[in-house]
Amino acid sequence: MQRYQNYAQGQWIDGDGVETNLYNAITGDKIGEASSAGLDYDAILTYGRKTGGEKLRKMTFQERGRMLKALAFHLLEKKRKYYEVSALTGATKIDSWIDIEGGIGNLFANASLRRQFPDLPYNVDGVAAPLSKEGSFIGHHIQVPKRGVAIHINAFNFPIWGMLEKIAVNFMAGVPAVVKPSEYTCFLTEVMVRDIIDSKILPEGSLQLICGLGRGIIDHATSEDVVTFTGSAHTGKILKGSLRILAESIPFNLEADSLNATVLGKHATPGTAEFDLFIKETVKEITIKAGQKCTAVRRILVPEDFIEEVQKGIAARLASTVIGNPSEEGVRMGALATRTQVDRVRENVELLAKSQDIVFGDLDRFEVKGADKDKGAFFSPILFRNDDPYTNTDVHSIEAFGPVSTIMPYKNIDDAVELSRMGKGSLVSSIVTPNDDEGKEFVIGAASMHGRILVLNKDCAKESTGHGSPMPLLTHGGPGRAGGGEEMGGKRGVMHYMQRTAIQGHPTTITKITEQFQVGAEMPEANPHVFRQHFEDLTIGDTVFTHKHTVTVTDITNFANVSGDNFYAHMDETSLEGTIFEQRVAHGYFLLSKAAGLFVDPKKGPVLLNYGVEEARFTKPVYPGATVGVRFTVKEKIDQEKKDADDIAKGIVKFLVDMFDETGETVALATILTMVKKRDQSA
């Protein structure tokens, strides 16, 4: 019998005895067993903090991002193996694709975030705050990796996606992880973790796996750890309120199953593309993963005039959905994860049936293709109808975590908003409408009770990822019943695993700490010119002080002729009455162009190209007769990896362009982005 193991403290180990027997959800056959009993969680967490954490914290964001990218490619090469094992969980190929390739996609997405962070092991957050009149005392914020571990307690429904979408974020932050998947589907997680460990792409200690019940895993957590839980609201609240979490003030993110709603807009009348889209998408949300998604549609809100057509449309599609063994041709819905889950869903369906009517499906009489429904964990799609959802309110508080949903009528958008809010907090809601005003009205009204809202119409349908798909660059979580947490969200998610600290001091000191030039810091003159220096040789703060140029009316006229910008303030001195200008004013873009002419060293050298301008500001009018110069300062450096062996070794350098006039006052500011060649071409 297959024994699924834990990976802890650098080795694969068994727990004591058998905590959980594992079964094929299609056939009901036992496939293995798992246990985490007897594990030393204090030692496991300490190992993660010291062995994995110390290595991850020393890596820069760029290095961590490249690590995730390499891991994603590695797992893609082995994906066929995961599909084979995923089928044992009852998943169809589409279900498995969401879990496996959706999870790997999270690695790619988070790897790309490295471009939004500095080339440092820590983050510089926001901009400096002036704290003194003369500018010699400023404040800033940095974010450093927490010196703990991320403890991820995941649900049974997504044994791969649930792990990868979380560890991608904490690894980007420089924090190791201990993953505790559901004991029921841990066998799939274990297969992937073996490949991750064998690849040696991650530093040892970065990832540990607990395959059993994991009892006691948070009893040794400390204030620098982060605990995340995905699953039922009931269990999540128990963990969130545990004495250890409270005593240590441990950050705890709860992402709970919620009673998500989808809304058919009143403008999406029968016969429109949006009406048909609504039927198709709703049935998809009911049947994908056999309804075992925290984002699945549980409540279907429909204009009261359309409810009969919607009921018929959904029922017809459900009737054509073949349930059974995913390996059989034509099967579109597999099994629930376990027989235990079948019992739980059935119990909640029976509770819901006390206050509303089943209009499609039968708990006992349904066909299964290629399998025995009494041995496998199969369940019929169930469609309820509730004509009075303000009186019969069980639908807003009882969730059957399977292919179960309820149609209910609404009168107007305010009514739809109120019904959606009666779920007391949801991960996601959606509205299908061709009318953007209607979409806006629903979104603004419902947003405070939802973590995400999809507005779907025929124009975005082809590329839409759908109601139930959280995206790695958008936040996932929701208020109230949904747990009150937030995860993913691109750069926002990474920050959950970092400590934000305010720092104060002289601009030169803050420049040294942040490795980003701060206005007011020392500006030693660059020697040689910065355009003559390779990437490695450039020093933050080094400055080129340029020659000066006196602006003339001819400059303004010539620039207008070249650019075509004949705005009156530049060209018509008789039209300035009532404006802020005293006379014809130089174009802001002329000033930037002239600045380039002043700071550029034209000879061929290490600078490969200038490819962008950021944060351009024109802070003071420049009139003919003004004399301008530039302070051109190395602001920030970001290393770049070579795309291949033939690529030029280079880095990105940001330069601060500070143009000033004869009074010394700044008239224009900008940051230019350059690619600068490295001296060491083997790097």
Question: 455-471, pLDDT tens digit by residue?
Answer: 999 999 998 988 888 88
Asked if residue 321 has pLDDT above 90, the reply is yes
Average pLDDT over residues 6-11: 95
- 186 as an active site residue: the answer is no
Q: Which position among 294, 399, 438, 487 bears the catalytic label?
A: 294
At which residue do the structure tokens 């303004």 appear?
556
Domain shared by 265 and 212, yes or no: no
| In a domain? residue 25 | no
Q: How far is it, in rounded angstroms, from Cα 434 to Cα 404?
A: 27
Domain boundary residue, one of 480, 496, 512:
496
Percentage with pLDDT > 90 across the chain: 79
Residue 644, pLDDT score: 84
Q: How confident is the model at residue 1 (pLDDT cuts 50, 70, 90)?
A: low
Domain shared by 189 and 280, yes or no: no
Asked if residue 356 has pLDDT above 90, the reply is yes
Asked if residue 225 has pLDDT above 90, the reply is yes
Structural domains counted in the chain: 3
Q: What is the domain-level CATH number for residue 287?
A: 3.40.309.10
Residue 480 burial (CB count, 10 A): 18
Asked if residue 198 has pLDDT above 70, the reply is yes
Domain shared by 413 and 533, yes or no: no
| In a domain? residue 517 | no
| In a domain? residue 382 | yes
Asked if residue 631 has pLDDT above 90, the reply is yes
Asked if residue 96 has pLDDT above 70, the reply is yes
Contact 110, 241 (CB under 8 A): no
Q: How far is it, in rounded angstroms, from Cα 108 to Cα 672?
A: 28
Average pLDDT over residues 387-408: 95
Domain shared by 318 and 405, yes or no: yes
Domain shared by 92 and 193, yes or no: yes
Beta-bridged to residue 610, according to DSSP, are 674
How many alpha carbons fall within 13 Å on the CB side of residue 232?
12
Beta-bridged to residue 669, according to DSSP, are 617, 658
Residue 681, pLDDT score: 81
Q: How far is it, in rounded angstroms, from Cα 487 to Cα 483?
A: 11
Q: What is the domain-level CATH number for residue 215?
A: 3.40.605.10
| In a domain? residue 580 | yes
Domain shared by 276 and 327, yes or no: yes
Domain shared by 281 and 365, yes or no: yes
Q: How far is it, in rounded angstroms, from Cα 227 to Cα 244?
A: 11
Residue 339 burial (CB count, 10 A): 17
Asked if residue 234 has pLDDT above 80, the reply is yes
| In a domain? residue 660 | yes
Asked if residue 421 has pLDDT above 80, the reply is yes
- Of 74-88, 173-187, 436-450, 464-478, the poorest mean pLDDT is in 464-478
| In a domain? residue 131 | no
Asked if residue 38 has pLDDT above 80, the reply is yes
Residue 683, pLDDT score: 66
Mean pLDDT of all residues in the chain? 93
Average pLDDT over residues 148-157: 92
Q: Count Cβ atoms within 10 A of the Cβ of residue 367 and give its class: 0-12 exposed, 13-18 middle, 19 or more buried.
A: exposed
- Of 28-32, 120-124, 564-568, 571-575, the poorest mean pLDDT is in 571-575
Q: How far is it, in rounded angstroms, from Cα 242 to Cα 161?
A: 27
Percentage with pLDDT > 70 across the chain: 100
Average pLDDT over residues 508-513: 95
Sort strands 607-618 and 666-677 into parallel, antiparallel or unpaired. antiparallel
Asked if residue 652 has pLDDT above 70, the reply is yes
Q: Which position among 165, 190, 255, 274 bears the catalytic label?
A: 255
Average pLDDT over residues 607-627: 92
pTM for this predicted structure: 0.89
- 255 as an active site residue: the answer is yes
Average pLDDT over residues 396-414: 95
Domain shared by 308 and 436, yes or no: yes
| In a domain? residue 593 | yes
Asked if residue 392 has pLDDT above 80, the reply is yes
Domain shared by 349 and 434, yes or no: yes
Range of the domain at 667: 523-677
Domain shared by 308 and 250, yes or no: no
Residue 563, pLDDT score: 93
Domain shared by 284 and 248, yes or no: no
Q: Count Cβ atoms within 10 A of the Cβ of residue 362 and give its class: 0-12 exposed, 13-18 middle, 19 or more buried.
A: exposed
Per-residue three-class SS string for 352-392: HCCCCEEEECCCCCCCCECCCCCCCCCCCCEEEECCCCCCC
Contacts of 432 (CB under 8 A, 6+ apart): 262, 263, 264, 265, 268, 274, 275, 277, 278, 281, 456, 457
Q: How far is it, in rounded angstroms, from Cα 635 to Cα 553?
A: 33
Q: How far is it, in rounded angstroms, from Cα 186 to Cα 165?
A: 16
Domain shared by 195 and 269, yes or no: no
User: For the segment 261-315, what is each residue's pLDDT rounded down to a tens digit?
Assistant: 999 999 999 999 999 999 999 999 999 999 999 899 999 999 999 999 999 999 9
Q: How distant, in Å, are the alpha carbons of 290, 335, 441, 635 from that of 341?
A: 11, 10, 38, 57
Average pLDDT over residues 334-356: 94
User: Taking Cα atoms as reference points, which of 305, 349, 341, 254 lies closest to residue 28?
Assistant: 341
| In a domain? residue 76 | yes
